[in-house]
Amino acid sequence: MYRWDFSPVIANGDLLLAGLANTLALTGVALAGGIPVGLGLALARLSGSRFLSAPAGVVIEVFRATPPLVQLFWFYFGLPIVLKVEMTPYLAAALTFTIQSGAFFAEIFRAGIVSVDRGQREAARAIGMTEAQAMRRIVLPQAVKRMFPAMMERSIELMKTTTLVATVSYADLLYQANELAQKTFRPLEVFTAAALMYLVSISLVSAIAALVERRMAMSGEMAR
C-alpha cells in the first residue's frame, strides 16, 4: 500500500500558490486582450467590406483550426527569428492566448450579434441612426445578454489552456508542480494537489458564472 505523504507539498505550498497566481494573471491578461480582439474581428467579419472581412476570417479560422500548443511554440520559438525581438515565455503566452481566445470570442460575438432580430437594426436605421449608432445603442446591448454563457464557457476553457505555458518554462501552477515533483520525488501527492487546486479554482469560477447567468436571465425577463 502506498504511503501518502503530503508534507513536502504543504512545505512548498507557497511555490504552488505563486504558480496559481501566475496562471490567473495570464488568464486575466489573455481575457483582457482577447475580448477587444474578438470584438474587432467579429465586427470586421460582419462588415460589408471584403478588405476587412477576409483577413479577419483568415485569422479566426487559422487560430481555431490549429492546436494551441503549436501556436505557442510558433510564437515562442519561431517569431523571434523573423522579428528579431526578445521573446519571453510570458510574452509568447500572452500573445498566443490573446489572439487564440480572440478568435473564439469572435465567433461567439458574431453569433450573438446575428441572433438579434433584423428588425431592430432596421428600426434604428429608420429613425436616422448610423450603422455605428445602431450597433452601439441597439444591437450590441441585446447581443451581450445572449453571448454571456458562451463567453463564460470560453473563459473557463482559457484558464485550462494556459497550462500549456509550462512547456515553455513559464512558472505557472503546472510548471511549479512539475518542478516540485521532480525535486521531492513525490509526483503523486504533488500532481494530485495541483489537480485539486485547478479543480477548486475552476469549479469556483464556474459556479460564479452560473450565478451571474441566472441573475441575468431573471432581469432579462423584465427588460425584454
Partner 1 sequence: MTYRWDFAPILDNWQALAFGAIGTVRLFLVCLVLGLSLGLLVALMRRSRHGVLRWLAIGFIELFRNTPVLVQILWFYFALPMLAPVEISPFGAAILGISLNSAAYSAEIYRAGIQSIEPGQWEAARAIGMTGLQVLRRIVLPQALRRVLPALTNRGIEIFKMTTLASVVAYVELLQQGKLVASLNFNPLEVYTVIGALFFLLLYPLVRATYALERRLARSDA
Partner 2 sequence: MTAPLLRIEGLGKSFGDRAVFSGVDLEVARGDRIAIIGASGSGKSTLLRCINVLERADQGRVVLGGEPVGEEVRRGDRTETRYSEAALVRLRQRVGMVFQQFNLFPHMTVLGNVMEGLVTVKRMGRDAAARQALAELARVGLADKAEAYPAHLSGGQKQRVAIARALAMEPEVLLFDEPTSALDPALVGEVLDTIQALAGEGRTMLLVTHEIGFAYHMATRVLFLAEGGIYEQGTPDEVLKNPRRPLTQAFIAGHRRFSF
Residues engaged in binding partner 2 (CB under 8 A): 117, 119-120, 122-131, 133, 137-138, 141-142, 221-224
Interaction between residue 198 and partner 1 (CB under 8 A): yes
Residue 127 burial (CB < 10 Å; 0-12/13-18/19+)?
exposed
Interaction between residue 191 and partner 1 (CB under 8 A): yes
Instruction: Look at residue 183 and give the partner it binds from partner 2, partner 1, none, a contact being a CB closer than 5 to 8 Å depending on partner kind.
Output: none
Asked if residue 151 lies in contact with residue 102, where contact means CB atoms within 8 angstroms, the answer is no
CB nearer partner 2, residue 200 or residue 217: 217
Q: Cβ of residue 37: shortest distance to partner 1, in angstroms?
A: 19
196: Cα separation from own chain's centroid: 21
The C-alpha atoms of residue 17 and residue 169 are separated, in whole angstroms, by 17
Q: Cβ of residue 198: shortest distance to partner 1, in angstroms?
A: 5
CB nearer partner 2, residue 15 or residue 216: 216
Cell numbers placing 105: 470570442
Letters for 43-82 (x = contact with partner 1 by CB under 8 A, - = none) are ------------------xx-xxxxxxxx-xx--xxx-xx
In sequence order, which residues have a C-beta less than 8 Å from that of residue 44 and are 6 or more positions away?
52, 53, 55, 56
In sequence order, which residues have a C-beta less than 8 Å from that of residue 80 and are 6 or more positions away?
86, 87
Cα angle 85, 176, 191 (rounded to 5 degrees) comes to 135
CB nearer partner 1, residue 106 or residue 134: 106
**Amino acid of residue 97:** F
Site residues for partner 1 per CB under 8 A: 2, 61-62, 64-71, 73-74, 77-79, 81-84, 160-161, 163-164, 166-167, 174, 177-178, 181, 187-188, 190-192, 194-195, 198-199, 202-203, 206
